[in-house]
Structure 1
Amino acid sequence: MGRKAKIAACTLNQWALDFKGNLSRILSSIQEAKESGARFRSGPELEICGYSCEDHFYESDTLLHCWEVLVEIIVSPLCQDILVDVGMPVMHKNVTYNCRVIFLNRKILLIRPKMLLCEDGNYRESRWFSPWKKVRLVEDYYLPRMIQAYTGQQVVPFGDAVLSLKDTCIGFEICEELWNPQSSHIPMSLDGVEIIANGSGSYFELRKAYVTVDLVKSATFKAGGCYMFSNLRGCDGQRVYFNGCSCIAVNGHITNRGKQFSLAEVEVVVATIDLEDIRTYRNAIRSRSHLAAESPSFPRINVDFSISEDSDVPCFVPIDWQYLTPEEEIEMGPACWLWDYLRRSGQGGIFLPLSGGVDSSSVACIVFSMCNMIVNAVQSGDETALADVRRIVCDSDYTPSNARDLCNKIFVTCYMGSENSSALTKARANSLASAIGSYHCSISIDIAVTAVLGIFTTATGLIPKYRSQGGHAREELALQNVQARLRMVLAYLFAQLMLWVRQRSGGLLVLGSSNVDEALRGYMTKYDCSSADINPIGGISKADLRSFLKHMSEKYDMPVLLEILAAPPTAELLPLSDGRVTQTDEEDMGMTYSELSVYGRLRKQNFCGPYSMFCKLVHTWKGSCTPQEVAEKVKHFYQYYSINRHKMTVLTPSCHAETYSPDDNRFDHRPFLYLRTWDWQFKAIDEQVQRLSLSDDKKTKVNEDAHEKCPAAKANASCVDTGMGKRKRAIDINKLLTYQNNQEIPHQNSKKMFTGVTNNYDVDTDTD
Structure 2
Amino acid sequence: MGHLITVATYSLNQWALDFDGNLQRILESIRIAKERGATLRVGPELEVTGYGCMDHFLEGDTALHSWEVLAKILESEEAKGIVCDIGMPIMHKNVIYNCRVIIYGKQILLIRPKMWMANDGNYRELRWFTPWQKHRRTEDHFLPRIIRVVTGQTKVPFGDAVVSTVDTCIGVELCEELFTPASPHILMGLDGVEIFTNSSGSHHELRKLYRRVELIKEATSKVGGIYLYANQQGCDGDRLYYDGCALIAVNGRVVAQGSQFSLQDVEVVSATIDIEDVRSHRATSSRSMQAASAERYERVEVDFALSAGKFDSTVGVEELVVEKPYEVRYHRPEEEIALGPACWLWDYLRRSRTQGYFVPLSGGIDSCATSVIVYSMCRLVAEAANQGDQQVIVDARRIAGEPEDSSYVPTDAREFCNRIFHTCYMGTENSSIATRTRAKDLAAAIGSHHVDLNMDTLVTAIRNLFSFVTGFKPQYRAHGGSNAENLALQNIQARLRMVLAYLFAQLLPWVRGRSGGLLVLGSANVDESLRGYFTKYDCSSADVNPIGAISKTDLKKFIAWARDAFELPVLTEFLEAVPTAELEPITETYVQADEADMGMTYDELSVFGRLRKVEKCGPYSMFTKLLHEWGSFLSPTQVAEKVKHFFFEYARNRHKMTTLTPSYHAEQYSPDDNRFDLRPFLYPSRFAWQFRKIDEVAATLPDRSTVHPSEIPREAKERRKDA
The TM-score, its normalising length taken from structure 1, stands at 0.91
Count of matched residue positions in the alignment of Structure 1 and Structure 2: 712
Contact 1:590 1:749 in 2 (8 A): no
**Given the alignment, which residue of 344, 349, 352 partners 1:342?**
349
The runs of 5 or more residues in structure 1 that have no matched partner are 700-720, 729-747, 759-768
1:308 is matched with which residue? 307
1:52 is matched with which residue? 52
Partner amino acid, structure 2, of 1:671: P
1:142 is matched with which residue? 142
Matches within 5 A, 1:511-660: 511-577=521-587, 582-660=591-669
Could you say if the C-alpha distance between residues 125 and 364 of structure 1 is closer, same or farther in structure 2, counting changes exceeding 3 Å?
A: same
Contact 1:513 1:535 in 2 (8 A): yes
The percentage of counterpart residues that share the same residue type is 58
Residues in 2 aligned to 1:683 and 1:757: alpha-carbon distance in whole angstroms = 19
Residues in 2 aligned to 1:757 and 1:433: alpha-carbon distance in whole angstroms = 36
Task: Quote the offset at 1:691 in angstroms.
Answer: 2.3
Contact 1:649 1:665 in 2 (8 A): yes
1:243 is matched with which residue? 243
Residues in 1 aligned to 2:700 and 2:615: alpha-carbon distance in whole angstroms = 24
**Given the alignment, which residue of 637, 648, 665 partners 2:674?**
665
- 1:297 has 2:296 as partner: yes
2:128 is matched with which residue? 128
2:166 is matched with which residue? 166
Residues 124-176 of structure 1 deviation map (CA, whole Å, 9 limit, x = unaligned) = 10000000000100000000011001110000000000001000000001100
- 1:392 has 2:357 as partner: no
Task: Quote the offset at 1:497 in angstroms.
Answer: 0.3
- 1:403 has 2:408 as partner: no
2:493 is matched with which residue? 483
Residues in 1 aligned to 2:708 and 2:700: alpha-carbon distance in whole angstroms = 18
Partner amino acid, structure 1, of 2:692: K
Secondary structure of 2:505 counterpart? helix
1:115 is matched with which residue? 115
- 1:373 has 2:380 as partner: yes
Residues 361-407 of structure 1 deviation map (CA, whole Å, 9 limit, x = unaligned) = 00000000000000111111111111111111220322113100000
Could you say if the C-alpha distance between residues 323 and 84 of structure 1 is closer, same or farther in structure 2, counting changes exceeding 3 Å?
A: same
Residues in 2 aligned to 1:411 and 1:751: alpha-carbon distance in whole angstroms = 41
- 1:416 has 2:426 as partner: yes
Residues 46-66 of structure 1 deviation map (CA, whole Å, 9 limit, x = unaligned) = 000000000001100000000
Partner amino acid, structure 1, of 2:525: N
Partner amino acid, structure 2, of 1:280: S
Secondary structure of 1:66 counterpart? helix
Contact 1:473 1:757 in 2 (8 A): no
Residues in 1 aligned to 2:263 and 2:720: alpha-carbon distance in whole angstroms = 49
Contact 1:249 1:255 in 2 (8 A): yes
Residues in 2 aligned to 1:2 and 1:678: alpha-carbon distance in whole angstroms = 68
Residues in 1 aligned to 2:237 and 2:410: alpha-carbon distance in whole angstroms = 27
Contact 2:474 2:485 in 1 (8 A): yes
The TM-score, its normalising length taken from structure 2, stands at 0.97
Residues in 2 aligned to 1:754 and 1:106: alpha-carbon distance in whole angstroms = 71
Contact 2:467 2:473 in 1 (8 A): yes
Contact 1:591 1:749 in 2 (8 A): no
Contact 1:497 1:507 in 2 (8 A): yes
Residues 225-272 of structure 1 deviation map (CA, whole Å, 9 limit, x = unaligned) = 100000000010111100001010001111111000000000010010
Secondary structure of 1:101 counterpart? strand
1:717 is matched with which residue? none
Secondary structure of 2:270 counterpart? strand
Could you say if the C-alpha distance between residues 602 and 751 of structure 1 is closer, same or farther in structure 2, counting changes exceeding 3 Å?
A: closer
Matches within 5 A, 1:28-107: 28-107=28-107
Residues in 2 aligned to 1:401 and 1:194: alpha-carbon distance in whole angstroms = 46
Residues in 2 aligned to 1:65 and 1:616: alpha-carbon distance in whole angstroms = 52
Secondary structure of 1:46 counterpart? coil
2:314 is matched with which residue? none
Contact 2:47 2:86 in 1 (8 A): yes
Could you say if the C-alpha distance between residues 467 and 171 of structure 1 is closer, same or farther in structure 2, counting changes exceeding 3 Å?
A: same
Residues in 2 aligned to 1:535 and 1:755: alpha-carbon distance in whole angstroms = 29
1:493 is matched with which residue? 503
2:441 is matched with which residue? 431
Residues in 1 aligned to 2:485 and 2:628: alpha-carbon distance in whole angstroms = 41
Task: Quote the offset at 1:577 in angstroms.
Answer: 2.1
Partner amino acid, structure 2, of 1:88: M
Residues in 2 aligned to 1:366 and 1:224: alpha-carbon distance in whole angstroms = 41
Could you say if the C-alpha distance between residues 581 and 307 of structure 1 is closer, same or farther in structure 2, counting changes exceeding 3 Å?
A: farther
- 1:750 has 2:715 as partner: yes
Could you say if the C-alpha distance between residues 724 and 394 of structure 1 is closer, same or farther in structure 2, counting changes exceeding 3 Å?
A: closer
Secondary structure of 2:271 counterpart? strand
Runs of 4+ in 1 over 6 A off after TM superposition: 721-728
Task: Quote the offset at 1:279 in angstroms.
Answer: 0.5
2:212 is matched with which residue? 212
Task: Quote the offset at 1:318 in angstroms.
Answer: 0.6
Contact 1:82 1:105 in 2 (8 A): yes
1:190 is matched with which residue? 190
Which region of structure 1 is more displaced relative to structure 2, 251-260 or 748-757? Answer: 748-757
2:324 is matched with which residue? 317
Residues in 1 aligned to 2:667 and 2:275: alpha-carbon distance in whole angstroms = 40
Residues in 1 aligned to 2:673 and 2:392: alpha-carbon distance in whole angstroms = 33
Partner amino acid, structure 2, of 1:299: E
1:706 is matched with which residue? none
Residues 694-733 of structure 1 deviation map (CA, whole Å, 9 limit, x = unaligned) = xx6xx9xxxxxxxxxxxxxxxxxxxxx98797799xxxxx
Contact 2:43 2:85 in 1 (8 A): yes
Residues in 1 aligned to 2:209 and 2:586: alpha-carbon distance in whole angstroms = 45
Secondary structure of 1:255 counterpart? strand
Contact 1:588 1:756 in 2 (8 A): no
Secondary structure of 1:386 counterpart? helix
Contact 2:632 2:706 in 1 (8 A): no
Could you say if the C-alpha distance between residues 45 and 725 of structure 1 is closer, same or farther in structure 2, counting changes exceeding 3 Å?
A: closer
- 1:3 has 2:12 as partner: no
Could you say if the C-alpha distance between residues 104 and 358 of structure 1 is closer, same or farther in structure 2, counting changes exceeding 3 Å?
A: same
Secondary structure of 1:306 counterpart? coil
Residues in 2 aligned to 1:725 and 1:194: alpha-carbon distance in whole angstroms = 64
Partner amino acid, structure 2, of 1:291: Q
Residues in 2 aligned to 1:619 and 1:755: alpha-carbon distance in whole angstroms = 23
Contact 1:116 1:176 in 2 (8 A): yes
1:711 is matched with which residue? none
Secondary structure of 1:684 counterpart? helix
Residues in 2 aligned to 1:297 and 1:465: alpha-carbon distance in whole angstroms = 79
Task: Quote the offset at 1:178 in angstroms.
Answer: 0.6
1:708 is matched with which residue? none
Contact 1:587 1:754 in 2 (8 A): no
CA RMSD of aligned residues (A): 1.5
Could you say if the C-alpha distance between residues 724 and 655 of structure 1 is closer, same or farther in structure 2, counting changes exceeding 3 Å?
A: closer
Task: Quote the offset at 1:581 in angstroms.
Answer: 6.8
Secondary structure of 2:37 counterpart? coil
Contact 1:169 1:193 in 2 (8 A): yes
